[in-house]
Amino acid sequence: MPDSSHLPALVAWLAFALAFVFGAVANRVNFCTMGAITDIVNIGDWRRMRMWLLAIAVAIAGAASLEAAGLIDLSKTIYTTPRVAWLSCLVGGFLFGFGMTLASGCGSKTLIRLGGGSLKSLVVLIVLAISAYMTLKGLFAVWRVNALDVVRWDVAPLGIARSDLGSFAARLGGGGPATRLGIALAVAAAIALFVFASRDFRSSRELTVGGIVIGAVIVGGWYVSGHIGYVAEDPRTLEEAFVATNSGRAESFSFVAPAAYLLELLLLWSDQSKLVTFGIAGVLGVAAGSGVTALATGAFRWEGFASTEDLVNHIAGGVLMGFGGVTALGCTIGQGLTGISTLALGSFLAFGAIIAGCVTASKYQYWRVGMDSEPRRMKALQ
């Protein structure tokens, strides 16, 4: 039996390297899901959204190609299980989307801004991690498990082994792996056609490269966790294992639950059973990559809270992101890229709910600005 004792460290370092690239590129091209959505809502600018969609297309095509080549098995993820916790995806996604708008960015943007010197983002990250940990194992977990996770849709009675679009198409059309690959490539191609239909976007090399690289990082994460870190027979349990993952399954990048596990690692550092996992390394890598880019480009700036209201909004946003991200099984990256790359039905639900939550919060903030400015306007007229 080959020695696999080196694999946890190898998986963690490779995850860190990929996340470092993510953070560096995302900082450079201003990759931000909340920003992409609010750009559309406020000024009708689709460029950053097209960059995000291009990353999704690359991630879908790449993940499907890895599975078709036999290098990974997407049925062994948290996203494609036959029982879809649809209510958790909708509620968690909406709360996450609302929270990320209050906190000026999602989990990945928080790490990117932290690397750029934002102390506001450090506070958000700490609050997010505490809230996420409470949702994984604490008080919030009781609410999540008893009120939301119990509401599920099981696709197994339909004769479908996993809850993704490819498997549904294969079941209806009588196909197999080739059908799943064909559906994935068709979806990716359709998204790419929409993305490049914009001449304005096509003319921006920076946004195009940014979308491609970030999507490729997600694919790389699947390969590292699902192939390099895969052990057919763990010497300790004599069962298959995905080493250095918190879920015990194949993973790619997500930043809410891993932030909670990073907090746990720091609090229980002397516990020898705790180790740097794929997700924890990803959190550290994004912040480090962003920090290096910020320093290299002269963009590093210390940033604090502008007011007490600003502090309250960011704390509330961190709480909502922590609860929502764990409940929905991922954030804008964990579900919006990693989950969507598997074409899982739950990921599409969470993806849509995140967007809805962000749009709602944007409208709320716009309303608040109007309400706050009206008394000042009336006073000036007096």
Nearest C-alpha neighbor of 329 from the set 53, 132, 67? 132
Residue type, 309: E
Within 8 A by CB and 6+ apart from 40, the residues are 46, 49
The CA–CA distances, whole Å, from 123 to 89, 130, 194 equal 26, 11, 38
Q: What is the pLDDT of residue 373?
A: 55
Q: What is the pLDDT of residue 1?
A: 44
Query: 78 lies in a domain?
Result: yes
CA 112 to chain centre: 13
Instruction: Encode the chain (382 residues) as per-residue pLDDT tens digits.
Output: 456 788 999 999 999 999 999 999 999 999 999 999 999 988 999 999 999 999 999 999 999 999 999 999 999 999 999 999 999 999 999 999 999 999 999 999 999 999 999 999 999 999 999 999 999 999 999 999 999 999 999 999 998 999 999 999 888 877 778 889 999 999 999 999 999 999 999 999 999 999 999 999 999 999 999 999 999 887 777 689 999 999 999 999 999 999 999 999 999 999 988 999 999 999 999 999 999 999 999 999 999 999 999 999 999 999 999 999 999 999 999 999 999 999 999 999 999 999 999 999 999 888 877 766 545 443 443 4
Q: What is the pLDDT of residue 113?
A: 97
Measured distance CA(149)–CA(70) in Å, rounded: 32
Measured distance CA(144)–CA(334) in Å, rounded: 18
Query: 2 lies in a domain?
Result: no
Q: 303: which strand partners?
A: 118
Are 317 and 132 a contacting pair, CB within 8 Å? no
Within 8 A by CB and 6+ apart from 193, the residues are none
Burial label for 197, CB within 10 Å (0-12, 13-18, 19+), is: exposed
What is the domain range of residue 371? 7-381
Are 33 and 106 a contacting pair, CB within 8 Å? yes
Nearest C-alpha neighbor of 132 from the set 92, 102, 94, 103? 92
Are 86 and 167 a contacting pair, CB within 8 Å? no
Encoding tokens for residue 322? 């922590």
Query: 1 lies in a domain?
Result: no
Number of domains in the chain: 1
Nearest C-alpha neighbor of 212 from the set 375, 358, 4, 25? 25
Parallel, antiparallel or unpaired: strands 83-84 and 241-242? unpaired
Query: 24 lies in a domain?
Result: yes
Q: Which residue has the tokens 């450079």?
A: 28
Residue type, 120: K
Query: 131 lies in a domain?
Result: yes
Q: What is the pLDDT of residue 98?
A: 97
Measured distance CA(367)–CA(350) in Å, rounded: 25
Q: What is the pLDDT of residue 23?
A: 98
Are 240 and 234 a contacting pair, CB within 8 Å? yes
Q: What is the pLDDT of residue 382?
A: 45
Q: If you write DSSP's letter for every residue of 6-37 in order, what string do you get?
A: THHHHHHHHHHHHHHHHHHHHHHHT--HHHHH
Measured distance CA(324)–CA(254) in Å, rounded: 13
